[in-house]
Structure 1
């Protein structure tokens, strides 16, 4: 494995539960050293977090100012839009297996290959749109492994809200949830008209009354990285300051 610091690397992991290989990206910060243990940020739609969110630059800037703890960034990219619907969507045919892959196999691989803190609170899941829904799915399924999850403008429907209602251990979670005020009527990446604002407000109305750590923000803007990118610094500080 390439352990060059300050670079984004790509590798592959064989998943037994899914019966296939997945591409994985990882970023080791500048001055990365085996002398220290690291927090782990896991992003879904990782190529977009690197390209449009520039998450590694935002991390590096905060780290240099000593405004956040040491972390590595590991990500699961999507090969194409159709794939996201099958794997990241809560209604996708491979969704449950993909959640299990992250909750059991991916974290095992991360802890085996990098010097990590290995505590639930030292891990943060992040995603936007369907990948944000997926981040919440993993936290719901594995609250003692991944209590910290961020979803920018997640896809939400009534069935997904039921998943929260059926999780007896919500109090273990620390969620960060945003939605854009212009997301009441927009065109998705699949070319369909959608309203994300209303169902996200419905999820918020439920979570607001539950005993968990929960930050909810309605942002100026739409279903785009221009809206999400400025939130990344806040999120990194929120969990890892």
Structure 2
């Protein structure tokens, strides 16, 4: 039984039917304070959802925007990560479970969302949202299913040559509306895995490619590093960008 108490973050589970991914995954969802099944809602889908709620306070930012009439009705759903190792296997474009997990999001997960809540079921009514590897995950789903999910925002996504090639291979890139940020201090930093990394250079390479394509595309270089202190202030801007 789905708990539809508004104004709080709920936990639930969704079971995969994807071949080779016979697992049950933890999910989270937030129904706004004025939620009612009488109204259709747009859907914000977050990867690393526990961080979006804890550090980004995305539900509070949404409520403030809605209260002053600057955003449409939305629900927030998401998939948390149980461990850093899990995140590398499922969210990373190079992870051994990534391909199947993208399919899970586009089938079992979104079907669960639409079955249980009053939602608008079009690509332009859904936003995929993530940071770091979760941002790469958001872009991966949009690239694979550009009509089901035509909007994706990524804070400081992991990018390599193979990931850029996925954009180059997508003939329906014009259907997408992408928002892309990177911190100016991300040229040399330590990841949560303890490795030194340069995210700024490959993200600029991705920007160079996407800027010449026909898709709707917003690119922002921000002061700051690969941390929520940098990303959090940009959440309201992105919600307004897609749902104002």
Equivalent residue for 1:28, pick from 27, 31, 34: 31
Ranges in structure 1 where 5+ consecutive residues have no aligned partner: none
- Give the equivalent residue in structure 1 for 2:16: 15
Runs of 4+, deviation exceeding 6 Å: none
Deviations along 1:9-41, one digit per CA (max 9) or x if unpaired, are 000111111200000000000011111000000
Work out the CA distance in 1 between the residues paired with 2:120 and 2:171: 27
Task: Give the match's secondary structure for 1:93.
Answer: coil
Work out the CA distance in 2 between the residues paired with 1:38 and 1:114: 8
Question: Are residue 93 (structure 1) and residue 101 (structure 2) matched?
Answer: no
Task: Give the match's secondary structure for 1:230.
Answer: helix
Ranges in structure 2 where 5+ consecutive residues have no aligned partner: none
Question: Are residue 40 (structure 1) and residue 49 (structure 2) matched?
Answer: no
Deviations along 1:45-87, one digit per CA (max 9) or x if unpaired, are 0000000000000000000001000000001000000001000
Work out the CA distance in 2 between the residues paired with 1:167 and 1:78: 28
Task: Give the match's secondary structure for 2:44.
Answer: strand
Work out the CA distance in 1 between the residues paired with 2:178 and 2:36: 30
Work out the CA distance in 2 between the residues paired with 1:23 and 1:35: 27
Equivalent residue for 1:134, pick from 117, 133, 137: 137
Question: Are residue 79 (structure 1) and residue 76 (structure 2) matched?
Answer: no
Work out the CA distance in 2 between the residues paired with 1:141 and 1:34: 30
Deviations along 1:84-122, one digit per CA (max 9) or x if unpaired, are 100000000000000000011111111110010111111
- Give the equivalent residue in structure 1 for 2:115: 112
Question: Are residue 4 (structure 1) and residue 5 (structure 2) matched?
Answer: yes
- Give the equivalent residue in structure 1 for 2:210: 207
Q: TM-score, normalised by structure 1?
A: 0.99
Equivalent residue for 2:236, pick from 214, 233, 237: 233
- Give the equivalent residue in structure 2 for 1:171: 174
- Give the equivalent residue in structure 1 for 2:68: 65
Work out the CA distance in 2 between the residues paired with 1:132 and 1:69: 23
Work out the CA distance in 2 between the residues paired with 1:168 and 1:128: 25
